[in-house]
Amino acid sequence: MIPFEYRTPKNLKEVHATLKEFGSDAKLIAGGTALVIMMKQRLVRPTCLVSLRSVRGLNSIEVKDGGLSIGGLATHRAVESSSLVRRRLPMLAETYHHVATLRVRNMATVGGGLAHADPNQDPPPSLIALGATVKATSSSGSRVIALDEFFKDYYETVLNPDEVVTEVMVPKQAPNTGAAYIKFLPRTADDYATVSAAAVLTLDKSMKTIADVRIALGSVGVTPIRATAAEAVLRGQPLKAEAFAEAGEKAKQAVDPVSDFRGSAAYKTDMAAVFVRRALEKALADVRQQAKAKAAPKPAAKPAKKKAVKKGKKR
């Protein structure tokens, strides 16, 4: 790769000052797993890399307003192994676990992944289905962007060149909500999905009507796709057997996949319908399972088992 300057600002103020200094020739780098590959192939040739790795305080995972706040510099590994995320939003922990290999997950950050905006990624559909928002910070302040309005095109977001994704907020989910993320991987386990579907389903008190639903798909367009038409045929409707298959068919209208080595456009479109249906079924099973667990009598207190879970390092 071409020679470049490597700057290590210690806080956001210095980050923005350095970005301003180098203008459009500068690129932010956090984990670097996506950027370094592109630089090795000379597809991206920044003259300055502004590293976020020395900026402290942006990698926490905590409860905020009943929901989850994930720092932009938290690694994928930190999210997947966080006991907080696994307890409150297991679907999100699973989603982050699906990404590439553990080596990538140890480096790749939540914010960096979103800013990279590859439509084949796993986190975006899940986060969109959970109603997540992103906080983007620049020298002139911060703004909050709904994730389903964040992606513009392949590798393009609505972020301005000097904005840093500092936080991802997942709102508190309504009662009787189940969530699922399914990744269709006909090739290797570390690959991007051929098609992926995330569904978050909220039932009403009777558990017989769909109060709300959010469906998002990955790998079927130049950005993650929110299947609003599919959601519309379900929202407010009673739960019935064919409803999910119908929603799956409706989702086909929202997708525009490319034919590539993971599948033809026609195949991916067909699979979009299948996986939307399966994700909805899994989300429904999740609601029911949660309801069952709540209703079940609490077991006698067992001594806490030592969990083989690595806690994210606080930097």
Partner 1 sequence: MDVPKVAKSLPGVESVSKIDDTTYEGALTVRVGPIKLNLQGKIILEEQNKTDWRAALRAEAKDRMAAGAVNGKTIMNLKEIGAGMTELLVETDVNILGKIGEFGQPIIRKKADAMLKEFVENIKKQLSGK
Partner 2 sequence: MNKKIKFRVNGKRHELEVPTNRLLIDCLRYDLGLTGTKEGCSVGVCGACTVLMDGDMISSCLTLAVMADGHDLTTVEGLAKNGELNPVQKSFIQYGGFQCGICTPGQVVAATALLKENPKPNEDEIKDWMMGNLCRCTGYYKIIESIQKAHQFAK
CA atoms within 13 A on the CB side of 122: 27
Asked if residue 292 binds partner 2 (CB under 8 A), the reply is no
Asked if residue 100 binds partner 1 (CB under 8 A), the reply is no
Among 19, 26, 49, 70, binds partner 2 (CB under 8 A): 49
Asked if residue 44 binds partner 2 (CB under 8 A), the reply is no
What distances in angstroms separate CA 173 from CA 78, 130, 209, 214, one per listed residue? 21, 8, 17, 12
Asked if residue 4 binds partner 2 (CB under 8 A), the reply is yes
Structure tokens at 80: 């997947």
Beta-carbon contacts of 145 under 8 Å, excluding residues fewer than 6 positions away, are 133, 134, 135, 136, 158
| Smallest separation, CB 42 to partner 1 (Å) | 5
Picked from partner 1, partner 2, none, the partner binding residue 305 (CB below 5 to 8 A depending on kind) is none
Structure tokens at 23: 């203008």
Q: Tell me the window of 13-21, 35-43, 67-75, 184-192 that interacts with partner 1 (CB under 8 A).
A: 35-43
Asked if residue 25 binds partner 2 (CB under 8 A), the reply is no
Q: Which long-range contacts (CB under 8 A, 24 or more apart) does 139-144 make?
A: 139/13, 139/16, 139/17, 139/20, 142/166, 144/169
Give the footprint of partner 2 on this chain (CB under 8 A).
Answer: 1-6, 8, 32-33, 36-37, 39-40, 49, 51, 53, 77, 100-104, 106-107, 189-190, 308, 310, 313
Give the footprint of partner 1 on this chain (CB under 8 A).
Answer: 2, 27, 35, 38, 41-45, 117, 153-156, 222, 258-260
